[in-house]
Amino acid sequence: MSVDMNESKFKHTAITTAIMVLFTMVGTALLAFTYFSTKTPIEASEAEARLTLLNEVLPPSLHDNNLLKDTVEIAAGGLLGNTSKTLAYRARLSEKPAAVVLEAIAPDGYSGEIKLLIAIRHDGSLAGVRVLAHRETPGLGDYIDIAHSDWIKHFDNQSLAKTQDGKALENEAQDEYWKVKKDGGNFDYMAGATITPRAVVKAVHQTLQYFQAHQNELFAAAGEQK
Amino acid sequence: MSVYKDIVENGLWKQNPGVVQLLGLCPTLAVTTTVVNGVSLGLLTALVMAASNGAVSPIRRFVPEEIRLPVFILIIAALVTVIDLGMNAFAHPLHKVLGIFIPLIVTNCIVLARVEAFAARNPTTPSILDGFMMGIGLSLVLALLGAMREVVGKGTLFSGVDLALGPASKAFIVTVIPDYHGFLLAVLPPGAFIGLGLLIAVRNWVEIRKAAPKALAMPPLAAAPSH
């Protein structure tokens, strides 16, 4: 009697297990199929989204090469604030270096990191800055996002060496200039949210310093890779 | 036919997941900062629910009692992943907005609740309808809540519709209150709780009125629904 029961229990367990395995296999097959058939479209739409972003900071008149193909890797750490390696996109006009697009991270936003996309012309002036991702308070700190205000356009055409009206800046004056107005600098902010713009201004300033220090590597590599 | 009528009525009103069953509060509260976000996630949930109910109902007799839940979750998770990948491929901008909430549909208890309570016990066609109508009921709540929070919080309606339907639809964005500086509370999570509370109150009020049309002068006191 007990042998029978054990046998039927065993059978029941085996069947249950087999059914579970069957379902798992069908599910896995379905997922694998979907993954492989959506892989190419996903890569295409990601590249397209990336290109749209790059064109936001970099006017089409500044390049005639394929930005997505002409990149150089930047190691983690350093002035850009990136914690993993990122890509710098190089823009060239008839083979001559015209500008470079860098990703930078401002680690000291009001609620965490602010990711920035920064385009710098060959002469060291900013072509454009955009916020890629942020978690700043809606309605207060989110004016750094182009969707909410034009504040981020203040950076257009600014550079390390000169003020916007062309006055030359010495080393110490540079550090003073690259601050929000509340701290005695040049950049506007909105009342109630100074931490956010302070973080962004600092990150853009550091990116320009990075560009100044590594300009040759950034563009020289462009020649070597060809 | 009356079976189908009951299913529709349950999904949209009597057993509405958003304001009666109060299941799936995570997306209800998190994504309803605008109408477009709310409706998009609501419709996606409806799609997942119809698909998972439709997938579970035909196989309900072959699934042993002991492994019922793992199999159901496996089916739901696979369907959600398929939809997630599909959206990433063919509706990329919208996927970026709703991105982190799509995988969360798996953990939305309303999906598993309907699979377990309805699809595991009923034929296929009513099951698909049940999943879909429950999803639509949820979408309606998400739309209303999204509209309330968007108007009060930002002074607009349908902002971001261009992400879902293409740049041409930008003309649909309505500025309800021009030159509005926003009301932060409505946009942040507390606004979601307050808004949902108001919606539940309105629904209960309508129910009470329906139940006792003549006793309006003295509304019943103990009318709170039990859960």
State both tokens at A73: 């890797």
Range of the domain at B49: 2-212
Residue B49 lies in a domain: yes
User: Residue with structure tokens 């039927």?
Assistant: A8
Residue B225 lies in a domain: no
Residue B44 lies in a domain: yes
Residues of A in contact with B88 (CB under 8 A): 38, 42, 45
Question: Amino acid identity, residue A191?
Answer: A
Nearest by Cα to B58 from B134, B122, B7, B118: B122
Residue B96 lies in a domain: yes
Residue A48 to residues A41, A51, A158, B92, B132, Cα–Cα distance (Å): 10, 5, 28, 10, 33
Contact A24 B74 (CB under 8 A): yes
CA B104 to chain centre: 13
B75, B92, B184 ranked by CB distance to A49: nearest: B92
The CA-based diameter of chain B, rounded to the nearest angstrom, is: 61
Q: What is the pLDDT of residue B198?
A: 92
Q: What is the pLDDT of residue A226?
A: 39
More confident residue, A26 or A1: A26
A20, A31, A46 ranked by CB distance to B71: nearest: A20
Q: Can you name the residues that pair with B157 across neighbouring β-strands?
A: B174
**Opening angle at CA B97, ends A30 and B169, nearest 5:** 105
pLDDT category at A180 given cuts 50, 70, 90 is confident
Dump strand ranges (E) for chain B: 156-157, 174-175
CA A56 – CA A78 distance, rounded (Å) = 25
Q: Can you name the residues that pair with A89 across neighbouring β-strands?
A: A71, A101
Average pLDDT (A45-57) is 84
CA B20 – CA B39 distance, rounded (Å) = 19
Residue B181 lies in a domain: yes
| Residue A30: Cβ within 10 Å count | 15
| Residue B61: Cβ within 10 Å count | 7
Average pLDDT (A116-143) is 86
Nearest by Cα to A72 from A43, A92, A100: A100
Chain A residue closest to B183 (CA)? Answer: A139
pLDDT category at A223 given cuts 50, 70, 90 is very low
Residue B123 lies in a domain: yes
Residue B34 to residues A132, B37, B166, Cα–Cα distance (Å): 21, 5, 17
More confident residue, B35 or A6: B35
**pLDDT truncated to tens, each residue of chain B (227 aa)?**
678 888 888 888 888 888 888 887 877 788 888 888 888 888 888 999 999 999 999 988 888 888 888 999 999 999 999 988 888 888 877 787 676 678 878 878 889 889 999 998 899 999 999 999 999 999 999 999 999 998 888 888 887 777 666 666 777 777 777 777 778 788 888 888 999 999 999 999 998 888 876 555 555 555 555 45
More confident residue, A87 or B78: B78
Dump strand ranges (E) for chain A: 71-74, 86-93, 96-109, 112-121, 126-133
Nearest by Cα to B199 from B140, B141, B154, B135: B141
pLDDT category at A89 given cuts 50, 70, 90 is confident
CA A90 – CA A217 distance, rounded (Å) = 12
Q: What is the rounded average pLDDT for all residues in chain A?
A: 84
Whether A29 has a pLDDT exceeding 90, the answer reads yes
Residue B27 lies in a domain: yes
Contact A16 B64 (CB under 8 A): yes
The count of residues in chain B is 227
Chain A residue closest to B76 (CA)? Answer: A27
Nearest by Cα to B24 from B113, B145, B109: B109
Residue B163 lies in a domain: yes
Q: What is the pLDDT of residue B72?
A: 92
Nearest by Cα to A127 from A137, A115, A119: A119
| Residue B78: Cβ within 10 Å count | 23
Nearest by Cα to B199 from B11, B69, B8, B16: B16
Q: What count of Cα atoms within 13 Å lies in the side-chain half-sphere of residue A156?
A: 10
Q: What is the pLDDT of residue B167?
A: 67
Average pLDDT (A195-224) is 82
How many domains does chain B fold into? 1
Share of chain A above pLDDT 90, in %: 19
Q: Which residues of B touch A (CB under 8 A)?
A: 33, 62-64, 66-67, 70-71, 74-75, 77-78, 81-82, 85-86, 88-90, 92-93, 96, 153-154, 181-182, 184, 187-188
Contact A20 B70 (CB under 8 A): yes
DSSP secondary structure letters along B64-85? -GGGHHHHHHHHHHHHHHHHHH
Q: What is the pLDDT of residue B6?
A: 85
Q: What is the pLDDT of residue B74?
A: 92
